[in-house]
Copies of this chain bind each other. A is one copy, B any other.
C-alpha cells in the first residue's frame, strides 16, 4: 500500500490554477505507483481564501472544481481539501476533506476545530463538523482530520481552548491509519510543538499518522510543508523537505512496526532564511511580478533584504538603487556598492539632495522661522520612497521595503518613506535576528559586507544620527518588544525580567503610539508567533477622550 503525500503550492482563491496543480501532482503520484494520494487542506480553493469565502460564486466554483477533479481521478484514491456549503443552521460553510475513489467522492469529512485567533478567522465562515466518523477504504478504517482538529490537546490557556477533541473521538473508534491534512503556516518553534503533538497521538492510539501540509507563500503567511509520516513508536518514518514542493511516497505495511526516528525540525536560523526566501518568491510570482526594486542604504536591513531577494529570485531579477543625501556617510555608498557587486545585482544611483532642496524651497513660506526637525528628516525618507515608486511605476518592478520588526514596533520608520513597498520582507524580523541572519548568510563568504553588519545602526537623516540616540540598545529593546508583542506581558512583568522600568514604559508607549503607522504598512512576512499585520488587530484612536456632552 503506497501512500503519496502531495506537498503542493496552491494559490489563494485561484481555483483553475489549483486544479491544474492538483491534477499534475496526481498524475505524477500515479506514475510513482500510489494507491492513495493525500493533498493539503483546502487545496481546491487555496488557503487562506479569506473573504473570498463570502462570494457564493467562489464556493460554487470550488465545489464544481472538486467534482471535475474527482472525475479525473480514476487511478489511485485521493484525499483532497475543499470548501462546501452548509445546508443547515449556523455558519454557511464547512471546511472539508473529500475521500475520492474510482473517480467519485466516496465520503466527506468536515473540520471540527476552527482556529479563530492570530491570523486565523475560521469561525468567521465555517460551521464545525456536526459529527466525526472513520472513513472506510478498501477494508481499512481511516481517521481523516483537518489541521486544527489535531491541536485540541496542545492548546491550553491553562484550560483547554476547545470543548471537543476529534482525534480522541476518532481514536476511540480504532483507526488503522490517521491522516491529517494541513494548511499550517511556519513560525519559529512551531515544528517542535507539532512534533510533540504528533508523537503523543501516535503513541496514544497506536496507529501511524500521515501529515500533509501545503507549501508556499500566500501574502503574509509562509507554509513550510515539512509533511511527514509518524510511526506508532512516536518516530518519523518518512519526511518531506521544508519550503519546497515534493511528492513523498511511503509504503505502508499494516503489520510492520514501522519504527521511526526522532523528528528533526532543522536549524531554526536556516528555516527562517528559507521561509523568507519562499515568502518573497511567492509574493512576487503570485502578484504577477518578475523583478524587484530595493533602496540600498549601505545599512544591514536593506543589504539583508537584497541578499534574500537575490537568492529567492536570482540576482538578475533584483535592482538596487542608492539614494544618497547630504547626511549619507562615505561608507553608505561604498558598502552599498560592495553589496551590489557581491550579489551581482543591477544598481543605480539617484541623488535626492536636489529634490529635498526643492521641497524645502516650495515650503519655505510656511516653514520660515522653524528649526530643522522631524519634517525635514522625513522629507528625505519620503523623497527616497517616491523615487522607488516612480521606478516601480515606470518599469514594473515590485518595491520591497526593508524595515525590520524592531523599527516597525517602536515607529522608528517613516510612513510613505522607508515604509514604501508592496512587501515588508523583514517586518517580522527583530534587529538582533537581522544580525544573526546576516552572519549566517556570510557563513562561507562575505556576501553582505561585514562593514554593514558591524557598523552602528543609523537612519542618516541628520548629522551624526544613530539609532541609539532615540532607542535603547537593540539587545535590550528586542526582548522588551518580544515580551510585549509576542507574549502579551505587562510592563510590570517585563520589569520583573530585569529591565529598567523607565525604559520599559517608554518602549511600550512607543509601540502603542506607532499603531497608526502599522495600519498602513506593507504586508509583513510572518516568521514569529506574533507578527504585525492580520494576526494582530489593535485600535488606533485610543487613550484620549472625546469632548464630553454630559455634565
Contacts and interface: CB of A to CB of B under 8 A. Distances in A.
Interface of A: 8-9, 11-14, 17, 21, 24-25, 27-28, 46, 48-52, 54-57, 86-92, 116-117, 121, 123-124, 157, 159-163, 216-219, 244-247, 281-283, 285-288, 348, 350-352, 354-355, 357-359, 361-363, 365-367, 370, 373-375, 378-379, 382-383, 385-387, 389-391, 393-394, 415-416, 420, 422, 488, 490-493, 516, 519-523, 534, 536-551
A511 to B, nearest CB: 12
A42 to B, nearest CB: 12
B545 A17 contact: yes
B542 A286 contact: yes
Nearest to A394: B375
Nearest to A374: B393
A216 B383 CA distance: 37
A325 to B, nearest CB: 12
B538 A50 contact: yes
A549 B9 contact: yes
A546 B9 contact: yes
B550 A28 contact: yes
Given A386-B383, A539-B13, A286 B162 contact: no
Contacts of A374: 393-394
A48 B416 contact: no
Contacts of A523: 519, 540
B361 A390 contact: no
B55 A490 contact: yes
B354 A362 contact: yes
Nearest to A281: B546
Instruction: Report which residue of A394, A488, A523 has the largest number of chain B beta carbons within 10 angstroms of its beta carbon.
Output: A394
B390 A378 contact: yes
A330 to B, nearest CB: 21
Contact of A363 (B218, B390, B548, B549): B390
